[in-house]
Amino acid sequence: MPLGIFILVSVIKSLIILIVLLTAVAYTVWLERKVVGHMQNRWGPTRVGPFGLLQPAADGLKFLFKEDLTPPHVYKPLFLAAPMMAVIFALTSISVIPFGNSFVFGPFSLPHFLPFHWGGLVIGPYDIPLQITDVNIGLLMILGVTSLGVYGVALAGWSSNNKYSLLGGLRASAQMVSYEIALGLSLVGVLIQSGSFSLRDIVDAQGGHFLGFIPRWNIFHGQFIGFFVYLMAAYAETNRIPFDLPEAETELVAGYHTEYSSMKFAMFFMAEYANMITVACLATLLFFGGWHGPLFGPPLMQALLPVFWFVAKVVCFLFLYIWVRGTLPRFRYDQLMDFGWKFLLPLAIANLVATAIAVAW
């Protein structure tokens, strides 16, 4: 593929994925309000559009037009930079996530009236993977970028010059650093089984079936404990209930984003939901076979079904997030630390050792 075409294809793919991701973020918020509403025996948003479907657009407009307050005693450069960092790191990690197999583009020839020597030029065939970029350290890159996401939260808490914000920021950094270890170790079992850091290779290794009908996904392939540890640690990493100590409203007003308003607050909100989506994508790719699923129907449907299966699995995980939020109360801080260090970490190490022995056998 020539460099010009490569850059063009990359830009188009990045744009599409960015737009889809931001729309997905908006509708995850809608889904959460709707589902939690029904769990609490109320309706959730119903007024804007059918089933409240236009509510995210209304919320976005409201955030844009709200007054953007900057409190007087904040440390301004970091106060402004923190929400941007949060959202940038949250959006970056999606760049290595594959959504499906590749599709072949072209060949087709350009029309003859074009200037220069472009007329009649044959383009393609190009094999375009459904992913912004496939790097051989994909999983490590996601871990690296999400570990940088702590800075947005920690610096927001510090620069706000507010005790509740500072406590929220400190809690967030301590919690995220602690659970990152269990998160990383829980993934090593999968890595041992597939023998690659590339997310595409990991998904490809999960094709096929056991006994003809049980899919060969990692969760049915001895990684159930790994999945459990990953799920718990990932909930803690995204600061979601029951691990939402950094923004515990009963103790800390709103935690690290207490002083933020308008679009700056919305950026933290977007970062949280984008992180949720990344975590759900990663769970799907690593433990639930990515885009593998039954294929049937005409050729076009067969081409689109893998993406559909991938999205369906991700939506299931997002629903699980919301379900947990509607069900569980918040941990106490000492319980949170005990759970992370004394339960999840040993469990992750045990899973790693067991997987290593099983593979070496």
Partner 1 sequence: MNFHLILFSAFGAVCVAGAVNLLAQRHPINSALSLITVMAALAGEYLLLGAEFVAAVQVIVYAGAIMVLFVFVIMLLNAGEEEETKGSRVAVMFGVPGMLIGGVLIAWVVLRHSGTEAVAIGALPGDPRDIAQLLFHNFLLPFEVTSVLILIAIMGAVVLASKPESQGKVD
Binding mask 109-128 for partner 1 (x = CB under 8 A): --------------------
Residue written as tokens 């949250």? Answer: 90
* Min separation Cβ 34 and partner 1, Å: 35
Pick 46 or 161: Cβ nearer partner 1: 161
How many angstroms separate the Cα of 184 from the Cα of each of 8, 38, 117? 35, 35, 52
- State which residue, 54 or 135, has the beta carbon closest to partner 1: 135
Q: Is 210 exposed, middle or buried (0-12, 13-18, 19+ CB in 10 A)?
A: exposed
d(CA 348, CA 180): 12
> Which two structure tokens, joined as six digits, stand for 91?
């959006």
Residue 191's Cβ-count burial label (10 Å; 0-12, 13-18, 19+) is: middle
Told to check if 337 binds partner 1 by CB under 8 A, we report no
- Residue reference for tokens 């009236």: 113
Per CB under 8 A, does 197 bind partner 1? yes
CB nearer to partner 1: give 146 or 206: 146
**Residues in 39-98 that interact with partner 1 by CB under 8 A:** 78
Of residues 202 and 314, the one with the C-beta less far from partner 1:
202
* Binding positions for partner 1, 126-165, rule CB under 8 A: 135-137, 140-141, 143-145, 147-148, 150-151, 154-155, 157-158
Q: Note whether 259 and 71 are within 8 A (CB).
A: yes
Our CB check for partner 1 shows the closer of 143 and 307 to be 143
Q: Is the dihedral of CA 93, 263, 48, 321 positive or negative?
A: positive
Q: Where along the sequence are the contacts to partner 1 (CB under 8 A)?
A: 3, 78, 135-137, 140-141, 143-145, 147-148, 150-151, 154-155, 157-158, 166, 169-170, 173-174, 176-177, 180, 184, 197
